[in-house]
Amino acid sequence: MKRAAPFAVFTAVLAMTLVVTAGNGQASQSGGKSAAVAGVKIDNFSFAPATLTIAAGTTVTWTNDDDVPHTVVSDDKTTFKSSALDTGDHFSYTFNKSGKYSYFCSVHPRMTAEVVVQ
């Protein structure tokens, strides 16, 4: 990548974060508060952390590290809903409103967790 002005770099990183949500989710957190990211790992039939607390505007990326497919579905089934995530797959959602968002895996409904947006 050729050198560019810091702002151009930041804009490019932000654009990639927004567009390439199916990528590896390794977005930089150093770009500024509007590009905040957080991650949830899915493994052993559970979400980790079970409770994730973030600031409004944060994009959360779930990564399935388990060897069976899982989904990420909000309790209301409309706020966010992933398709089946195979091993290594990602799903991202940006939380713009504060509140408590409980979610579960529709394949294994006993898998539950929550995102708290401050």
Q: By CB under 5 A, is residue 90 in contact with Cu ion?
A: no
Q: Which is nearer to Cu ion, 107 or 116 (CB)?
A: 107
User: In b/e form, how buried is each residue of 42-60, taking b as 16+ CB within 10 angstroms?
Assistant: beeebbeeeebebeeebbb
Query: How many residues interact with Cu ion (rule CB under 5 A)?
Result: 5
Q: Which is nearer to Cu ion, 47 or 95 (CB)?
A: 47
Q: Which is nearer to Cu ion, 81 or 108 (CB)?
A: 108
Say how far apart CA 81 and CA 73 lie, in whole Å.
4
User: What residue type is 46 in one-letter code?
Assistant: S
Say how far apart CA 19 and CA 28 lie, in whole Å.
14
Say how far apart CA 35 and CA 69 lie, in whole Å.
28
**Subset of residues 8 to 37 that bind Cu ion, contact rule: CB under 5 A:** none
Q: Which is nearer to Cu ion, 27 or 72 (CB)?
A: 72
Q: Which of 105, 113, 115, 117 binds Cu ion (CB under 5 A)?
A: 105
Shortest reach from residue 62's CB to Cu ion, in Å: 11
